[in-house]
Amino acid sequence: MNHTAYLLLGSNLGDRVATLHRALVALAEQAGKIVAVSSVYETAAWGFEAQPAFLNQAVQFSTALSPEALLGACQQVEQEAGREREELWGPRTLDVDILLYDEVVLDQPRLVLPHPRLPNRRFALVPLADLAPNVMHPTLNQSVQQLLANCPDTLPVEPWLGDL
């Protein structure tokens, strides 16, 4: 059985565009079929703001993987991109977050679904709204578009105008 998962890709070190592209290819090989991708957005760093801006992109996947197996695939792709987990919210070559997975609600030490900080992050909600504005958050009973309208985060999220 296939499941619908929404992922957020982010990069703020190295060739950010190439990193996002390679991540899409690797995720398609390891995790399932890409159904849709959002525009790319340049976003201010969140949490630890004294670092380069990110490029972020949301991706809709059709996957046969369980949430835990999908997390493993995402972390493998991050590692292949040179991700080092040195500081919370620090700079990174690649970050892949599972935002939503069907209507699954999960609270485990390694994985919480839906992503617990999704309602508070414009950098995730703006690209996700490109793909799924009417998808409902399974615990808040609000659409992605409603979450974006109510998001307290005011950091800038701008369409990327560079070369893709």
Q: Which residues are catalytic?
A: 83, 92, 95, 97
Going from the C-alpha of 162 to that of each of 16, 17, 63, 158, the distances in angstroms are: 11, 9, 30, 11
Query: Which H or E element spans position 147?
Result: helix 144-149
Contacts 24+ apart (CB under 8 A), 48-53: 48/87, 48/88, 48/89, 48/90, 49/155, 51/12, 51/90, 51/91, 52/12, 52/13, 52/91, 53/12
**In a 3-state reduction of DSSP, which class is residue 122?**
helix
- Decide: 6 and 132 in contact? Cβ < 8 Å: yes
- Name the nearest CA neighbour of 140 among 161, 162, 113, 119: 119
